[in-house]
Chains A and B, each alone.
Chain A
């Protein structure tokens, strides 16, 4: 039995479901029963049994309503895989996007930022500048101060010393609201209200940001993370990956100038991770500055224009290839069919080759100052000497090697 539609629209009590006839009957019976008991006590003893019957009915209906409530699904792990969760057929992973270096006015300027918690230094004298539209990677081990830096720039935490300009607004106590209006922060855990639906979560945050055309904006944000079809699902019923996407949709609501993403792919499967990467690429295309903290070095290398490596203090900053050049000598690897009879004589003096070594027969590592100059010269020298070249190429150091080199230095220094 259902109440008329206009009546059912008023929702009370048990969850998001419309109020049932039991709910209304409960109220009527409670009041009626109580008045009946009292009226019976006032002298009309014949009404007393009627009141008792009403109260018993109340108890039964309450039990029924309670049972209905008990059957309501609790926030739980997802059961079904919907269309938007299925793995799209792709032959190969998304390639690294080639892009121009961002220019224009800086979105973020940080100067000598320091944050202490009592005696513990969380962030020590950190300075950097991020251009508008740049995707900036912030790398570092656990406890390096990445999250503290994000919280400080997001006005959640007050700096101990130093200064910053966030989205053109100085980081000062009176500017907290203005700064938070211009940025969005997605913490590592998306922090959604699990009893509310996806749309209700976003409505709440859109209200806090004062978003105009709220429902249109929510629709756009959900579409951008492919969650339009799940708008009315309780967040408690979503998988971790989908919750992360809701968190990302929330970060897009206020059309921020800077988006801080704190470990956005932490704990996500490869498909969900790729979707987050694609979203970050789309943000870049829209000119949004992205501040990405991550442990995933291949993620930083693929997505970021520049990266900073932090371990309480800033260890290095630059484009990934710049960091490689800074830390590692450029090396050419040459493989020949047979070991060279007189490598010392052949390789020493070749233009661009600084030194050489060989650990295996027919494999030579040449330290060079400029690979573009040295490689053709080496090839000519080897061919001139009658050697068969199997391969000749520049050794590429990964960002991981750069990272480990820097962090290992810190570990060594602390011993």
Chain B
């Protein structure tokens, strides 16, 4: 595993994102939407609201916070391989010494960084807004340590999961749009999982949050390996699967 090659891939990907209007607009518009909606919800809650009302509202907010790292990265990740293939840049890359695992890890990191940066920024802004403007009952629920830990741990791990699924689809898809649609659909089960936590069907506690986070971390590592294995140079270059595995 070469750190230098991974860094080269990350740097190139980030440069490309910055010059891709679609990515810039997606990264710019979605966070604004996800920032305004929860704040509108929070600031409508009066001090006299019941505990059930507050928990339901905060659940919705927390869900929205976790949607960003689930929804945003697959759009980029799904483009990463099939998009390069379509624009004819994949073959020259595959002629270099870069390993599949390095190339894919670089692409995953590049998709992960802006997504998680935006997710944490939104969460940070919400926390600041709640601290200084929301009703006391809301504050006490939002600043609940297990809840915060779950948010902070799950956001990157769920993002990584969504990214690996997106890249996996991208390595097998033959069209960018199909890949992006499939990746979005594939991220829906994650929303179900986060809903269970945010609406406290699964009640978050510190041990549970850490346990689930570790499980997600292991799952992300396994996904990375699986996606690296299904990355078939021969199929990507010629459209036909390799009979004998290439190096």
A156, B94: Cβ atoms closer than 8 Å: yes
Q: Which A residue sits closest to B6, measured CB to CB? A: A207
Q: How far is the CA of A184 from the CA of B96 in the complex (A)?
A: 7
B16, A193: Cβ atoms closer than 8 Å: yes
B20, A174: Cβ atoms closer than 8 Å: no
B123–chain A nearest beta-carbon distance, Å: 13
A187, B96: Cβ atoms closer than 8 Å: no
Which chain A residues border B233 with CB–CB below 8 Å?
155-157
Q: How far is the CA of A329 from the CA of B60 in the complex (A)?
A: 88
For window 152-180 of B, CB contacts with A under 8 Å fall at none
Which chain B residues border A181 with CB–CB below 8 Å?
97
B179–chain A nearest beta-carbon distance, Å: 19
Selected interface stretch from A12-20, A276-284, A337-345, A377-385: A12-20
Asked if B221 CB lies within 8 Å of chain A CBs, one says: no
A218–chain B nearest beta-carbon distance, Å: 13
Q: B44's contact among A30, A41, A116, by CB below 8 Å, is which?
A: A41
Q: How many A-B contacts if CB must be within 8 Å?
A: 157
Count of residues in B whose CB is under 8 Å from the partner chain: 52
B132–chain A nearest beta-carbon distance, Å: 9
Asked if B226 CB lies within 8 Å of chain A CBs, one says: no
Q: Which A residue sits closest to B92, measured CB to CB? A: A191
Q: B24's contact among A13, A35, A39, A209, by CB below 8 Å, is which?
A: A13
Q: How far is the CA of A192 from the CA of B87 in the complex (A)?
A: 9
For window 41-89 of A, CB contacts with B under 8 Å fall at 41-42, 69
Q: A34-B36, A196-B16, A207-B4 are in contact. Are A158 and B43 (CB under 8 A)?
A: no
Asked if A172 CB lies within 8 Å of chain B CBs, one says: yes
Which chain A residues border B206 with CB–CB below 8 Å?
none
Q: How far is the CA of A192 from the CA of B93 in the complex (A)?
A: 10
Asked if B225 CB lies within 8 Å of chain A CBs, one says: no
Asked if A176 CB lies within 8 Å of chain B CBs, one says: yes
A184, B240: Cβ atoms closer than 8 Å: no
A34, B35: Cβ atoms closer than 8 Å: yes
Q: How far is the CA of A173 from the CA of B237 in the complex (A)?
A: 17
B40, A38: Cβ atoms closer than 8 Å: yes
Q: A118-B240, A174-B247, A191-B88 are in contact. Are A158 and B234 (CB under 8 A)?
A: yes
Q: A34-B35, A195-B19 are in contact. Are A42 and B237 (CB under 8 A)?
A: no
Q: A41-B40, A192-B89, A196-B15 are in contact. Are A157 and B238 (CB under 8 A)?
A: yes
Question: Can you show 30 pairs from A to B with CB atoms below 8 A apart?
Answer: A13-B18, A13-B28, A30-B32, A31-B125, A37-B39, A37-B40, A38-B42, A38-B133, A42-B43, A42-B134, A117-B240, A151-B237, A155-B246, A156-B94, A173-B244, A174-B247, A176-B246, A178-B97, A180-B95, A181-B97, A187-B91, A190-B92, A191-B89, A195-B15, A200-B12, A204-B12, A207-B12, A208-B97, A210-B5, A210-B97
Q: A38-B133, A156-B234, A207-B12 are in contact. List 4 more A-B contacts (CB 8 A).
A: A42-B43, A196-B15, A203-B12, A208-B9
